[in-house]
Amino acid sequence: MEEDLDLLQEATQEAEAAEDSHSLYEVKMKFLGRTGKVTALLKGMKELAQEARPAFGKKVNALREALEEKFAALEEKIKAKELQKKLKSEDVDVTMPGRKHREGTLHPVTRVKDQLIDLFAGMGFEVFEGPEIESDYYNFTALNTPADHPARDMQDTFYLTEKFLLRTQTSAGQIRVMEKKKPPIKILSPGRVFRSDDDATHSPMFHQMEGLVVDRHITLCDLQGMLDEFAKKMFSETSKTRLRPSYFPFTEPSVEVDVSCASCGGKGCPLCKGTGWIEVLGAGMVNRKVLENCGVDPDEYSGFAFGMGIERIAMLKYGINNIKLLTENDVRFLEQFKD
């Protein structure tokens, strides 16, 4: 049993070989733990002769103390080493350039739509949004465009079924509003519309902004006054408007509205094709038949309506020459529209 007291060397050797605090702990348990070798020595003491016990016990205690000291010192060393390693792995190089987050911008169509809503809300218009899938009735028939009407050819329609289609114009919303609400009516109806049409200035999906005012004594002068205000706020303080006779089945009389060219001030340039004017929207006095279709008495009430292409306004305002740029989502293009 005496030779067992030589455990100090064995334990020291193993402890010093431990590479981390976990394996050091295991070595410690192997010698000093409840079932460890040193503890076993103490337990074995009862097999010794009575008189040999005190001396033996003293030696074992000395051994235990020596080992405890040894382990404590090693533990401290290993913990310090481990802390250094951890700190190093969490090192932050404050001189490294940060990761940049690109700031998004509002799409030009959204910008123009928001500007239009702001502008007309200031004149007392409320926003109404109709459905993109419409019935033939709301998109055409109720707007005085029955099935055999030649004006249906003005718009190449995407039919979903015989009865349902992708709306070709936000004018469908006029009917929905007049069916539900009694005059006075003053609504603005933005939204997507769809036509089978595709070139540099036409896209099969685009956005329109519809306006509708119905009340007593509404005249074409009210329409032009309001459009002048719109042109000044949207394009330039010096912008003027002019009305040209046109045709829409749901308005009578119908007009095409031109705005003086903001790029040349009306003198004539490539943008306005030398005319000094740019066509921006269709409008007119709501046709009596449309009022009747919605249960509004045309002898008591009159109204005007207008519809403009939001992409077209955006293209004129920002000098965009191809409508496709508005759907390609090229960040280099979109990034240019910042406040």
CA distances from 81 to 18, 88, 205, 261 (A): 13, 11, 66, 77
Does 305 engage in binding with ligand PHE (CB under 6 A)? yes
Residue 151: C-alpha distances to residues 28, 142, 148, 249, 250 (Å): 96, 13, 9, 7, 10
- Choosing from 138, 140, 235, 248, the residue that interacts with ligand PHE (CB under 6 A) is 248
Among 145, 171, 189, 203, binds ligand PHE (CB under 6 A): 171
Q: Does 206 bind ligand PHE (CB under 6 A)?
A: no
- By the rule CB under 6 A, 287 interacts with ligand PHE: no
**Of residues 31, 307, 313, 314, which one binds ligand PHE by CB under 6 A?**
307
Q: Which segment (35-43, 54-62, 278-286, 321-329) binds ligand PHE by CB under 6 A?
A: 278-286
- Site track 30-69 with ligand PHE (rule: CB under 6 A), x = hit: ----------------------------------------
Contacts of residue 146, defined as CB under 8 A and 6 or more positions apart, other chains included, come to: 140
CA-derived radius of gyration, the chain: 43
Rounded to an integer, what is the distance from CA 169 to the centroid of its chain? 26
**Interaction between residue 169 and ligand PHE (CB under 6 A):** yes
In sequence order, what are the beta bridge partners of 314?
none
Q: How far is the CB of 171 from ligand PHE (least distance, A)?
A: 4
User: What proportions of the chain, in percent to the nearest 5, are helix, strand and coil?
Assistant: 45, 20, 35
Q: Measured from the CB atom, is 37 or 288 closer to ligand PHE?
A: 288
* Binding characters for ligand PHE, 121-160, by CB under 6 A (x = yes): ----------------------------------------
Phi-psi region of 20 (alpha: psi -120 to 50; beta: other; left: phi over 0): beta
Q: Which residues bind ligand PHE (CB under 6 A)?
A: 169, 171, 210, 248, 251, 282-284, 305-307
